[in-house]
Amino acid sequence: MPKKLTMVVIEASDPLLARFWAQALEWEPTDDGSIDDGTGIRPRSADDVGLLFVPSTRPKTAKNRVHLDLTGDPDEVRRLLALGATCVDIGQGAVPWEVLADPEGNEFCVLPKAGFHSRLAQICQDAADPSSQGRFWAEASGWSIADEGDWGVRLVSAAGDGPTLVMGPPVAPKAGRNRVQLALTAGVGCDPSVEVNRLLDAGASHVDVGMDESRWQLLADPEGNEFLILEPSQAE
């Protein structure tokens, strides 16, 4: 595929949020900070999805539509709480995982370890129509649909050893631009305009960010979730 899912971009009011997540995931800082002077962290494998924290003054007003799922036992939950996470109730009821929030209120889950390849187990995005969203994101990212049911859709990368991409209900209300967004990196030598047109044909739409020129572009998927198209140098 001409582009791949390489990052999750998270707006942060405090740059120290990157330190929390680096400690939580035991990842290393990177030079991914080419978007708005952001701070990147990434696992040792350069092919795995990383996180990029970009400065923002926008307040968090609703549950995020994109969140991360980590793996761990009760000791891991206690470690995360000691780092600055908090327990949150988003109406999850009795579930076999813990729901926490990072120091800026971004929700994430801690799942039992079984069946996952890495500490970052899943990247989850709310979807009202998981089947349609799964097909769009398979086309956009080059990942493959591995599982589908009433709960949603799961996509896996070609390597198959990193986090999975999960889409399903419930869908949080959309209060402005999403604070957590997926980011795709264009392949080397790909014409960005051709790739944007390909995604528009697949169901994406333009998002006006008020910039005439940029080394990244912002689109929205068929359910209005913004995502970024990056140049290769921005995700190396």
Q: Could you tell me whether strands 50-55 and 107-111 are parallel, antiparallel, or unpaired per DSSP bridges?
A: unpaired
- Number of neighbours of residue 152 by Cβ within 10 angstroms: 19
Q: pLDDT at residue 215 above 70? A: no
**Residue 175 has what pLDDT?**
82
In the CATH hierarchy, which top-level class contains the domain 3-234? alpha beta
The rounded distance, in Å, linking the Cα atoms of 79 and 71 is 12
pLDDT of residue 36: 61
Q: Could you tell me the pTM of the whole model? A: 0.91
pLDDT for 217-228, tens place per residue? 899 999 999 999
Cα–Cα distance measured from residue 164 to residue 96, given in angstroms and rounded to the nearest whole number: 19
Domain ranges of the chain: 3-234
> From the CA atom positions of the chain, what is the Rg in Å?
17
pLDDT of residue 214: 61
- Asked if the model's pLDDT at residue 188 lies above 70, the reply is no
DSSP for 45-82 reads STTS-EEEEEE--PPP-S--SEEEEEE--HHHHHHHHH
pLDDT at 45 over 60: yes
Cβ-based neighbours of 216, under 8 Å, separated by 6 or more: 35, 228, 229, 230, 231, 234
**pLDDT over threshold 70, residue 210:** no
Q: What span, in angstroms and rounded, lies between the C-alpha atoms of 3 and 26?
A: 27
Instruction: Please write the tens of the pLDDT for every residue from 59-118.
Output: 898 999 999 999 999 999 999 999 999 999 888 878 889 999 999 999 999 998 776 767
The pLDDT value given to residue 46:
60
CB contact at 8 A, 127 and 133: yes
Q: Compute the mean pLDDT over every residue in the chain, rounded to the nearest whole number.
A: 88
pLDDT at 67 (0 to 100): 97
Q: Does residue 235 have a pLDDT over 60? A: no
pLDDT given for residue 159 in this prediction: 78
Work out the widest C-alpha separation in the chain, in whole angstroms: 49
d(CA 9, CA 34): 12
Q: Assign 41 to helix, strand or coil.
A: strand
The pLDDT value given to residue 37: 73
pLDDT of 1 strictly over 50: no
